[in-house]
A and B are shown apart, each in its own frame.
Chain A
Amino acid sequence: SQELEQSPQSLIVQEGKNLTINCTSSKTLYGLYWYKQKYGEGLIFLMMLQKGGEEKSHEKITAKLDEKKQQSSLHITASQPSHAGIYLCGADKPEGDAGGTSYGKLTFGQGTILTVHP
């Protein structure tokens, strides 16, 4: 089965600093999703990556998928206290033949806890 490993497990930074969270897969990633979770709340979808070398940005958060499609990184520029929370990567796995029906099942990493000190 596919496994996702996130690093670091936790991260404490000073406001204004840049940071990077990594997500590594044991198998080829067909679809890679980044989510953010605040304490006591559900997971909020941030971005999805599919193609090798793909990069997407939303405000100060940039996500990349490497060419081999086995590693993704999430980079936050000039962090703010509002960025604090748990970041999880999730990977899609097509059921049956490649390109066949995808039921949308995701395998998640263990999460990275981000603390941003003002």
Chain B
Amino acid sequence: DAGVIQSPRHEVTEMGQEVTLRCKPISGHNSLFWYRQTMMRGLELLIYFNNNVPIDDSGMPEDRFSAKMPNASFSTLKIQPSEPRDSAVYFCASSLARRKGGYQPQHFGDGTRLSIL
């Protein structure tokens, strides 16, 4: 079975440009998570969705960041305008969240390594 698919794997762009990261979750999963990982701050949760609805975006650093999930099989994370401090590895993860407990692990994509010059 296909895992979480992220694109692109690498992105290098100049400061001020718009960046769009894409994610296809595992089919049948109903929760989707966007993370950012840096050496300094570790793994940070940016935003997560359940049934395509944003549940908590308190981790989104600034208004320059936005995320959408138009359907169950696709999500985007957009940065506009981008800044050098946005350079990091961005991960998407998905899971099957159940009512009344029944905990399930998150499955991660391979990430997008973003460099803003």
Once the chains are docked, how many angstroms separate the CA of A33 from the CA of B103?
10
> Does any Cβ of B come within 8 Å of A94's Cβ?
yes
Interface size on B, residues (CB 8 A): 30
Once the chains are docked, how many angstroms separate the CA of A92 from the CA of B103?
8
A35, A50, A105: the one within 8 Å of B56 (CB) = A105
- How many pairs of residues, A versus B, come closer than 8 Å at their CB atoms? 73
Q: Is B105 touching A103 in the complex (CB atoms < 8 A)? A: no
Q: Is A45 touching B106 in the complex (CB atoms < 8 A)? A: yes
Complex contacts, A104 vs chain B, CB 8 Å: 31, 33, 48, 50, 95-97, 103-104, 106
Q: Please, which residue of chain A has its CB at the minimum distance from the CB of B9? A: A40
Which residue, of B31, B33, B103, B109, has the highest number of chain A Cβ atoms within 10 A?
B103
Q: Is A105 touching B43 in the complex (CB atoms < 8 A)? A: no
Q: Please, which residue of chain A has its CB at the minimum distance from the CB of B111? A: A42
Once the chains are docked, how many angstroms separate the CA of A80 from the CA of B40?
28
Interface size on A, residues (CB 8 A): 28
- B61-117 with Cβ < 8 A to chain A: 91, 93, 95-111, 113
Complex contacts, A41 vs chain B, CB 8 Å: 110-111
> Does any Cβ of A come within 8 Å of B28's Cβ?
no
Chain A proximity of B2: nearest CB distance (Å):
14
Q: Is A106 touching B106 in the complex (CB atoms < 8 A)? A: yes
Known contacts A42-B111, A103-B50, A103-B97; is-contact A108 B103 (Cβ 8 Å): no
Q: Is B103 touching A50 in the complex (CB atoms < 8 A)? A: yes
As a 0/1 sequence over residues 56 to 79 of chain A, the CB contacts with chain B under 8 angstroms (1 = contact) are 000000000000000000000000
Known: A44-B108, A95-B55. 5 other contacts (CB 8 A): A30-B101, A33-B105, A102-B101, A104-B104, A106-B45
A-B contact pairs, 16 of them (CB 8 A): A41-B111, A42-B111, A45-B105, A45-B108, A88-B43, A99-B101, A100-B100, A102-B99, A103-B31, A104-B33, A105-B31, A105-B33, A105-B48, A108-B42, A108-B43, A111-B42
